[in-house]
Amino acid sequence: MRIPLIAGNWKMNKTVDESIALVTGIVKPLEDIKGVEILICPPFTSLHTLADLLKNSSIKLGAQNMHYEDKGAFTGEVSPLMIKDLCQYVIIGHSERRQYFNDDEYANKKIKAAINFGIVPILCIGEKLEENMSGKTIEVLERQLEQAFNDIHNIGDIVIAYEPIWAIGSGKTATGEQANNTIGVIRQKISSLYENKTASNVRILYGGSVTADNITEFVQQPEIDGALVGGASLKPEIFRHIASQTSRIASQSRNGC
């Protein structure tokens, strides 16, 4: 059975001191939640400090992005070599990176670099509103998957996050059934690119205005293995509730309820 993952993407929020305060306040409550892997992805500036703070914790740490080269003349960039001893995960291809920083063409190189350095990539894919409205969702997602996994023969423990761009930060969201059906198609595409076993094992998250009010609707779906949480991950009680509800649903599934 795939272990659910709840990943908090802090985006460009929280200073180092604010990050310490937030993590200090949530570590113990989150560690009491069983059967769910919990991940936080703070800004680069907080990674080193939080890595020390979480080193004896079950809470995982991830970066929000990275360059595909391990060093060189890339002013302002951070390489996999710089984060590999701090992070277990890295987000790649987030819609904001694709929109503002042209990351569509770099996702493949970044995934290869992450795998090479033993960092688990969380590949984000998703369609724009106009693509959704014109019935091109599946076409867009399949193209993104093909581009991202080009010449990658073993995707290992990679995580995929389906984040419909029209739902991010908009207050809009897909229904649980809609997200489940789309993620089912994503899993079928993985099967065609690799094999059924790989598709069955890969964890696929939903991301896009995930809240404490709607998390149950998503994680009770059979194809959805957790959530990539944005703004709600900055609110300790809400993030804890999201993880707790996911744990409850997962426990029911394991017990056949």
Q: Which among 159, 176, 100, 152 has a CA at the least distance from the CA of 125?
A: 159
By annotation, the residues acting in catalysis are 94, 163
φ/ψ of 231, rounded to 5, equals -55, -35
Angle, CA 103 vertex, CA 79 and CA 171 arms, to 5°: 115
Distance between CA atoms of residues 110 and 114, nearest Å: 6
- As beta bridge partners, residue 226 has 5
Q: What number of residues does the chain have?
A: 257
Distance between CA atoms of residues 235 and 7, nearest Å: 13
